[in-house]
Every structure is written in structure tokens, then in C-alpha cells.
A and B are shown apart, each in its own frame.
Chain A
Amino acid sequence: MSQNSINSQIKLSRILIYVVLIVFAFYYLLPLYVMLVNSLKPLDEIRGGGMLYLPSIWTLDPWRAAWSSAQIGVDPSGLKPYFWNSIAMVVPAVLLSTIFGSLNGYVLTKWQFKGHGIVFGLLLLSCFIPFQIVLIPMAKLLGVFGLAGTTSGLVLVHLVYGIGFTTLFFRNYYAAFPTEIVKAAQIDGAGFFRIFWRVLLPSSGPIIVVSVIWQFTNIWNDFLFGASFADFDSTPITVALNNLVNSSTGVKEYNVHFAGAILAALPTLVVYVVSGRYFVRGLMAGAVKG
């Protein structure tokens, strides 16, 4: 009897858990559903009400418009040029901040110098400085460097902001990496960069993925720096999306706005889907033996 009642209790709690999970999953997926469905409808259908219905006429026109012909500010250029602006900003910023972060982590754990703790503490602190505080000094600095309004300028800003986080990731990862292996490599005659390149980096897969996903998501989604420091030919897609949605002329093309928003979110989704499983693995790395 008791065996049965325990079994049914377990079953009941399982069912409860699944119900709660499904409700939450539904709750979270609903906005995505609304965006997707409405981006595939003609505008009339949306204005007719019924945001939650499937389209009666399926159309890709809103996507085409959002990509290449929608009015962004004064130009009917679509999001296309801004998408490439974002790519041109994100790729170097992610790569550079990951490389610098891994080098910092390597030095801070395996080549410790006097005051390494303070340096790490300061780098950590940089993770907590609010963006707004640095806007004006950063604008001044970019002007001094001659980088104001350029993609390189934005790369620099994101690089500086990202190094704190990437250093934190790599430092903690390398702290768990046996120092004896580095010593063995020294005896084998490998130098500073050779040890990094041949011994540490090949073992850093999970943490590189963590760093890339984190940096990519943050930099791609950044709005404030993009809005503050970019010119027309360096404006990232987040700012362009805002301009698209806030265009004051003509009717509000909700279907185009939905399509544009999905377009702007797509790269981070792709990065996560492609490497997400490493992300969880990387965050857990070192937590357990093996």
C-alpha cells in the first residue's frame, strides 16, 4: 500500500512540475508567436484586430520591406546597411575582447606579479560601472583619438567595456588549470606565448564559447553607445530599429516593425542555438571533478 501511495505521490508532483513548466514556457513564447505571426500578415489584417490569429493571407513582404526598403529616419534603406554596421562592429569587438580577456586571465593566474590582485579587482570593478557615467568622457576621448562616429570607435568602446567580463571568465577558468602543467611546459622550453597557444588555449573551448556568447549578445543588443557615438555609416541595427519603429511619417506598419525586430534579434539567437550547449557546459566547468 505504502509503495503505491509513494509512487502516486511522485507521479502527482511530476505532473504538477510539468504543468507549471508548460505554463511558463507558453508565457515566454507568446510574444515570439505574436511577432512571428503578425510579421507574416498584411497590415490590414492586423488593423482588423485579432493579433493572435494565424494569417489568412501569408506574405513575406513585411520582411522584404524591413530588410531593404522601409523608411529609417530619412532614408528608405531598410535595416540592411545597419545590420552590416552591427556585424562590422560586433565581430572585431567580440574577438578582441575574448583574446585580451584570455591573455589577462593567463597572466593573472599563471604569471602572477606583485599587485595582480589589485589589477584583477580594478578590472572586476569595470564590470559594475554604469554606461551613463562614461558617456561624456568617452565621447571626448573618441574625439581626441579621431574615432568619433566611426565603427572603430564603437569597437574600442565595447572592447574596453568587455575586457572586465572576459577577464573574469578566463581568470576563473585558468585558476583551476593546474600550474604544474605550465611549469612542465617551461621545462620543456616553451615560452610565454607558446605555452598560451599550445597548452592553455586548446583546453579553453568551453570558456571561449561562454565569452563569445556573452560578448556577442551584449554588444549586439547595445543601444546606448550606438545611439550616442555612431554616425549614419556606423549606426548599429538596434538604433536603426528604433528609428524604424519611431518614424513619424505615414501609417505605423506593425508587420514591418515585427519583422524588423525579429531580424535584429536573429543573430544572437543563431549564436545561442549553435553554441548554447557549450555555454551551459562552460559555466559549469570546474564546478565538478572530471
Chain B
Amino acid sequence: MASLTINDLHKSFGSVEVLKGINLHIENGGFLVLVGPSGCGKSTLLNTIAGLEEITSGEIQIGDNSVQGLHPSKRNIAMVFQSYALYPNMTVSQNIGFGMEMKGVEKSAREESIKKVAETLQITELLDRKPGQLSGGQRQRVAMGRAIVREPQVFLFDEPLSNLDAKLRIDMRTEIKRLHQRLGSTIIYVTHDQIEAMTLATKIAVLKDGCIQQFDTPYEIYNNPNNMFVANFMGAPAMNLIEGNISKSDNNYEFQMKNSKGDVVSLPIHGVNGLKDYEEKAVICGIRPESINDLDLVSKSQSVVREVLIDVVEPAGSDTFAVVELGQKQIIARLNGNSQVSAGDTVKLTFDLSQAVFFDRQSEERIR
């Protein structure tokens, strides 16, 4: 096990710069998730760590050693690919043992390691089958087995769950987390699924256009996003981003927007010092759906009650999501699962602005 440090990493394909100065550090035993939309460079970053892509400039350290110029097989890493990338002509046990075979490990020692790993992953009865005879979930396990058997210092996962169906994906997600807890290994994990990122990570790096937008714990990423991109990307349903004006009354700031009828709705704000530069100016307010509830939930002290028109109701069992129109935007409120509201109703909702965040309209950066 080892830590991983990346200093000012640049990577270009010809004249196209895909990674523009990446700085990351994950401690020994950490679980780093690289998340971002497709084309943000997250898989390229993983490939440079693996040594499958050369870097243009910068430095990658695994443990205390730079891996510059080292062949992928010499970097003490193991990788699990999106397509599993099992060797189609080999049996499961040959697949798992191939790396050891290349290293020249003796057959008996090889078989022992394969057996141990197979037991851990409960694939012992599959050892003599070919990948073509396995289901998606089983292939996934074999791919993980091939990684575990290398006993690497760092595991690299490249969207390992995206080819599985929804139910299996959640099971395997739990499995990966359990594996991480048991092995205590350092894991770098690439995904475009923000729920996977939130549930698995000890640290998340959100990437966009080859730049890290924010690198922090899942809690901070979710509650204190650096900019509108991070705010919008993390969380499902996404954070509501509403345009409105800041005005000052009685030494307190208020956020003002128009509802669907054109009337002004204002919400009081507390404790955002940066807003003093934005008096009577337009800003973007980010407020999570769970901060907008129906009245019967225990109302918090900072909550204010406002009347809104319900546009669409989406029951989801434990919660009911309601789409309402506010500030010329559709925003989503999270209501009680038993809520009886229906489309077209005008209802009172509570707005809790203690968790609300504000962004500059031009730069889309956070106002703190």
C-alpha cells in the first residue's frame, strides 16, 4: 500500500491539451474518485498513472518514488477496466495467473494465490471457465481478482460498474467498498456517476475540461461546492440554481426572485459575507432540493415559508419530488413521501437557506 502524489501534470495529444496542470494527493489507504462528464480527461489521467499514456510534463509519485519512465508492469499498480478486458482465450484461472506467469512465478505458487483470491471473491467454481461463459457480474469479479492477485500498491478502477445493470451495479458498489475496507488498499477510481463517487470516496476530485474543479471530501464537495459546475454535477436531483437579486434590508441580505405570476419572492440570507459586493446585483443562488420541504416536516429555525405553484409531482416512494417554478426556472423540492400535493396546487413550502450557496453570475465562482 502506498500514497499517490501528482504534481502539475500536463498531458497533450498533439496540439490538444487534455490535462492542464493536475495536482492531487491521496494518502495511503485512501479512496480517491475522479469524477466528471465524458471528455473531461479523467480516464486519461488514470492511464497516465498506470503508465499506459506518457505524460507531457509534471510528476507522478507512488509511495515516495517517481514512476517516470517506468513500464506499467513495474509501477506496482493493478487496473480494472470498464470492459473487464479479460483474455478471451484463457480460462478464469489463467486470466488471474497471467501476470504472475509473466513474472515467472512457479506454477504451484501461482495456483495457491489464484485459489486464495478466488475464495475471497467467491468465484472458485468458475476457475475453469472461459470469460465468454460468464455473466457480467462474474466477469467483473474475475477482473477484480486479476487485480487483487497482483497485491499492488495502488488499485486503478476505470468505470468498472458502468457495463452492469442497475441492481448489480449497486451490489458491486457495496462489494468494492467492502473490499477497500478489508484490504485497506489505496484506490483510484474513475466514474461519471456522482452517486458512486459520493458513496465510495474518501476524497473526490471533480474534473472538467482537464482541470480539477474541486478536490475535497465528499461532504465538502456536496455542501461547499467551489463553483456552479461542481454544485450542478454532484447530487441527484441536482442542486437548484436560481437567478435573482441581492437586496439589503435592516442590515440583513435578502435574495429576491420572481415567481411564475411575476410577483417578487424574497428569502433572507445569513452569514455570507462576500455578498456585500453584490448589493442590488444579480447572483445565482444554489439550494438543494432537500432544503425545500413541505410544512409538516419539522421546521428549522432558519426556515422561511413561501407560497409556490406546483408544476409537476414525481413520487419516488420515500420522497416526493415536486417541480415548482421560481425565479424563471424550474426548481425541485423534496417533499414527504406521504405528501398529497398535486400538479396545479398552490402550496406553502419551507425554504431553509442555512445551506444555500451563492455564485457570481459571470465567473460562476462561489461567493463566500
Least CB separation from A182: chain B residue = B85
Flag B57-98 by CB within 8 Å of A: 1 or 0 each: 000000000000001110001110111011111000000001
Measured between beta carbons, the chain B residues less than 8 angstroms from A199 are 87, 89
Q: Which of A184, A185, A194 has the largest count of B CB atoms less than 10 A from its CB?
A: A184
Contact A183 B88 (CB under 8 A): no
Q: Quick check: A178 and B83 within 8 Å, CB to CB?
A: yes
Do residues B87 and A186 form an inter-chain contact, with CB atoms below 8 A? no
Contact indicator A184/B79 (Cβ below 8 Å): yes
Taking CB atoms, residues of chain B closer than 8 Å to A181 are: 83, 85-88
**Contact present for B98 and A180 (CB under 8 Å):** no
Closest to A194 in B: B102
B77 to chain A, nearest CB (A): 7
Contacts of B72 in A (CB 8 A): 183, 186-187
Question: Which A186-229 residues have a C-beta within 8 angstroms of B?
Answer: 186-190, 194, 198-199, 202-203
Q: Which residues of B contact A183 (CB under 8 A)?
A: 47, 50, 52, 72, 79, 81, 85
Expressed in whole angstroms, the minimum distance between the Cβ of B350 and any Cβ of chain A is 50
Given contacts A190-B98, A194-B102, contact A185 B87 (CB under 8 A): yes
**Given A194-B102, A203-B88, A203-B89, are A186 and B82 neighbors across the interface (CB < 8 Å)?**
no
The answer to whether A188 touches B73 (Cβ under 8 A) is yes
Q: In the bound complex, do residue A185 and residue B89 qualify as a contact, i.e. CB atoms below 8 Å apart?
A: no
Q: Give residues 153-202 of A contacting B (CB, 8 Å).
A: 178, 180-181, 183-190, 194, 198-199, 202
Nearest A residue to B78 via CB reads: A187
Q: Answer whether residue B261 sits at the interface, using C-beta atoms and an 8 A cutoff.
A: no
Q: Which of B22-50 contact A (CB under 8 A)?
A: 47, 50
**Are B99 and A189 within 8 A (Cβ)?**
yes
Residues of A within 8 A of B146 (CB): 184, 188
Which of A188, A198, A199: most chain B CB closer than 10 A?
A188
B212: shortest Cβ distance to chain A, in Å?
24
**Please, which residue of chain A has its CB at the minimum distance from the CB of B102?**
A189
Q: Are B73 and A187 in contact (CB under 8 A)?
A: yes
Contact indicator B103/A187 (Cβ below 8 Å) = no
User: Are B73 and A189 touching (Cβ within 8 A)?
Assistant: yes
Nearest residue, chain A, Cβ from B73: A189
Give the complex CA separation of A186 and B47 in angstroms.
Answer: 12
- Please state if A186 and B73 are interface contacts (CB–CB under 8 Å): yes
**Could you say which of A180, A187, A189 contacts B82, with CB atoms under 8 Å apart?**
A180
Q: How far is the CB of A236 from chain B (nearest CB, A)?
A: 37
Residues of B within 8 A of A202 (CB): 89
Q: Which of A181, A183, A194, A198 has the most CB of B within 10 A?
A: A183
**Interchain nearest-CB distance for B342 vs A (Å):** 45
- Please measure, in the bound complex, the distance between the C-alpha atom of A180 and the C-alpha atom of B85, giving whole angstroms: 6
Contact with B along A102-116 (1 / 0, CB 8 A): 000000000000000
What is the CB-to-nearest-CB distance from A272 to chain B, in angstroms, rounded to a whole number? 26
In Å, the complex CA distance between A205 and B194 comes to 42
- Contact for A190 among B78, B86, B102, CB less than 8 A: B102
Q: Bound complex: CA of A189 vs CA of B79, how far in Å?
A: 12
Which residue on chain A has the smallest CB distance to residue B81? Answer: A180
Task: Provide the bound-state CA to CA distance between A190 and B72, in Å.
Answer: 10
Judging by beta carbons under 8 Å apart, are A188 and B99 in contact? yes
- Chain B 141-173 interface residues, beta-carbon cutoff 8 Å to A: 146
A184 to B79, CA, bound (A): 7
Which B residues lie within 8 Å of A184 (CB)?
A: 79, 81, 85-87, 146
Cβ of A180: which chain B residues have Cβ within 8 Å of it? 81-83, 85
CB within 8 Å of A: which B300-323 residues: none
CA distance A198 to B90 in the complex (A): 9
Which residues from A are CB-within-8-Å of B83?
A: 178, 180-181
Taking CB atoms, residues of chain B closer than 8 Å to A189 are 71, 73, 99, 102-103
Q: In this complex, what residue of A is CB-closest to B14?
A: A114
Q: Which residue on B lies nearest to A201, using beta carbons?
A: B89
With both beta carbons as reference points, the residue of chain A lying nearest to B50 in the complex is identified as A187
A185 neighbours in B (Cβ, 8 Å) = 87, 98
Task: Please give, as numbers and ranges, the residues of chain A lying within 8 Å of B47 by CB-CB distance.
Answer: 183
- List, in ascending order, chain B residues with CB within 8 A of A194's CB: 102
A198 to B79 alpha-carbon distance, docked (Å): 19
Most buried by B among A180, A189, A199: A189
User: Which B residues touch A198, using CB under 8 A?
Assistant: 87, 98
How far, in whole Å, are A136 and B82 apart by their CA atoms in the complex? 54
Query: A186 to chain B: which residues have CB within 8 Å?
Result: 52, 71-73
Quick one: which of A219-269 are within 8 Å of B by CB? Answer: none
Find chain A residues with CB under 8 A from B87 CB. 181, 184-185, 198-199
How far is B52's CA from A202's CA once the two chains are assembled, in angstroms?
23
**Cα-based distance from A251 to B51 in the complex (angstroms):** 75
Q: In the complex the two chains form, what is the Cα distance from A44 to B77 in whole Å?
A: 81
Q: Which residue of B lies closest to A290 (CB)?
A: B132
List chain A residues, Cβ under 8 A from B73. 186-190
Across-interface contacts of A188 in B (CB, < 8 A): 73, 98-99, 102, 146
Contact B102 A178 (CB under 8 A): no
Give the chain A neighbours of B52 by CB distance below 8 A. Answer: 183, 186-187
Task: Report A-chain residues with C-beta under 8 Å of the C-beta of B77.
Answer: 187
Q: Tell me the minimal C-beta distance from A15 to chain B in angstroms.
A: 41
A sample of 7 inter-chain contacts (CB < 8 A) reads A180-B82, A184-B79, A184-B81, A186-B72, A187-B72, A188-B102, A198-B98
Extra inter-chain contacts (17) besides given A178-B85, A184-B85, A190-B98, CB under 8 Å: A183-B72, A183-B81, A184-B146, A186-B52, A186-B71, A186-B72, A187-B52, A187-B72, A187-B78, A188-B98, A188-B146, A189-B73, A189-B99, A194-B102, A198-B98, A199-B89, A202-B89
The list of the 9 closest CB pairs from A to B, nearest first, reads A189-B73, A202-B89, A188-B99, A189-B102, A180-B85, A184-B85, A180-B81, A181-B85, A187-B72
